[in-house]
């Protein structure tokens, strides 16, 4: 997210808990982190569907499969999330970025706080911004990278920040290339051509698109059944590319099924449909509601690449997808404006840009909006 997108957050500063605990020193779950026994048991519990039955498993798609476009379209429509293999990102680079995240979160708290995110800022170390919408804290740490990490990494690692910067910058370059490839597959599965997307640029490479990197740490937790790693939310992106280490924790919500664990698969990456692709598809590709639960004995790491359009480009349902019986469900909105809306309204952001159109004397609403709200944890 370039600096102009940061303005969305400056208007909605988040003043979160000045104390950042050393999770490794906590032998019991503090009350401030105790969410109570909700429906977020560990991934291998009976209430969370896990990898096994294909009907209840997040699709896994080989990007070299000749049918990849159709498979991606089906996954976007029915799940809003899928895993990809043979995506072209080397295992060495995935290992390096995971090692960088591990090194960062292993630093003493006082050292990490040298790169703390400001209340109205985007980059740096701190709690998830969505924490302000919930009465309890989340058992996690985060670090957001926008643009070059050089200045902040120099605060964290005065001697050897260079090697960590190189890894992050290479990862961002490779993620952007993969995001472009995935965008055309996802749009192509909707019947959208390069001529339909003027903001993709003359070379159709989304040159002016925006991206940010989010590193997440979920330490082992003494009472995981009463803690939440990251509360349920959708991403304010076109798409998100997530790498997770070999510890389970990510869950997605599917209507009619409930919470489904996305298992770590060697070399696979997870692709989430974000709110802006939800809007572009006129609601036919739902942005996926997801969360992270924690583990009693294992430390989980994830790295998310958040991909969006040019900050000032108005995003609205593609005209090719509209007709007399398919009116636009959402008004035009820029990513910068939408980020501000999400910072202010959180789970009501999509609804706040939704258009209500009369149909048969009633109201036509986006198919997933009401179902989505029913799945949010109570404040």
Indicate which residues carry an active-site annotation.
Answer: 300
**CA separation for the pair 335, 331 (Å, rounded):** 13
Q: CB atoms < 10 A from the CB of 88, how many?
A: 11
Owner of token pair 């991606």: 72
Q: Are 240 and 94 in contact (CB under 8 A)?
A: no
Radius of gyration of the chain from Cα atoms? Answer: 20
**CA separation for the pair 332, 318 (Å, rounded):** 10
**Opening angle at CA 234, ends 52 and 45, nearest 5:** 30
Q: Are 58 and 84 in contact (CB under 8 A)?
A: no
**CA separation for the pair 360, 346 (Å, rounded):** 31
What single string gives the DSSP state of each residue in 82-111? EEEES-S--HHHHHHHHHHHHHHHTS-HHH
CA nearest 289: which of 321, 255, 245? 255
**CA separation for the pair 271, 292 (Å, rounded):** 15
Q: Cα 50 from chain centroid?
A: 20
Owner of token pair 């989980």: 300
Strands (DSSP E) found in the chain: 60-62, 81-85, 124-126, 141-145, 210-218, 230-233, 239-244, 250-254, 258-261, 269-273, 290-292, 300-308, 314-315, 333-334, 357-359, 362-364
């Amino acid at each position: 997210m370039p600096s102009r997108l940061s303005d969305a957050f400056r208007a909605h500063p988040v003043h979160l808990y000045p104390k950042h605990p050393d999770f490794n020193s906590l032998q019991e779950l503090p009350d401030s982190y105790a969410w109570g026994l909700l429906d977020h048991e560990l991934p291998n519990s009976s209430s969370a569907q896990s990898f096994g039955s294909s009907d209840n498993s997040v699709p896994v798609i080989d990007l070299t499969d000749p049918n990849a476009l159709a498979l991606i379209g089906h996954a976007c429509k029915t799940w809003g999330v899928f895993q990809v293999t043979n995506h072209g990102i080397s295992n060495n680079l995935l290992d390096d970025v995971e090692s960088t995240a591990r090194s960062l979160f292993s630093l003493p708290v006082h050292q990490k706080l040298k790169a703390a995110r400001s209340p109205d800022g985007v980059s740096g170390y701190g709690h998830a911004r969505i924490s302000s919408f919930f009465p309890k804290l989340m058992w996690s740490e985060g670090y957001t990278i926008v643009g070059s990490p050089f200045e902040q990494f120099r605060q964290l690692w005065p001697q050897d920040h260079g090697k960590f910067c190189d890894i992050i910058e290479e990862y961002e370059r490779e993620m952007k290339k993969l995001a472009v490839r995935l965008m055309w597959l996802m749009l192509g599965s909707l019947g959208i051509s390069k001529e339909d997307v003027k903001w993709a640029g003359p070379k159709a490479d989304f040159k002016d698109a925006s991206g940010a990197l989010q590193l997440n740490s979920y330490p082992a937790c003494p009472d995981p059944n009463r803690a939440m790693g990251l509360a349920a939310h959708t991403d304010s992106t076109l798409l998100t590319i997530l790498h997770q280490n070999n510890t389970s924790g990510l869950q997605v919500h599917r209507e009619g099924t409930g919470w489904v664990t996305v298992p770590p698969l060697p070399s696979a990456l997870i692709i989430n449909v974000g709110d802006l692709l939800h809007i572009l598809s006129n609601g036919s590709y739902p942005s996926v509601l997801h969360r992270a639960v924690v583990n009693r004995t294992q430390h989980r790491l994830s790295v998310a690449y958040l991909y969006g359009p040019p900050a000032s480009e108005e995003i609205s349902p593609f005209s090719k997808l509209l007709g007399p019986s398919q009116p636009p469900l959402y008004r035009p909105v820029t990513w910068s404006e939408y980020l501000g809306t999400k910072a202010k309204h959180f789970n009501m952001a999509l609804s706040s840009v939704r258009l209500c159109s009369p149909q048969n004397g009633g109201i036509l609403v986006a198919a997933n909006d009401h179902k989505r709200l029913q799945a949010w944890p109570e404040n």
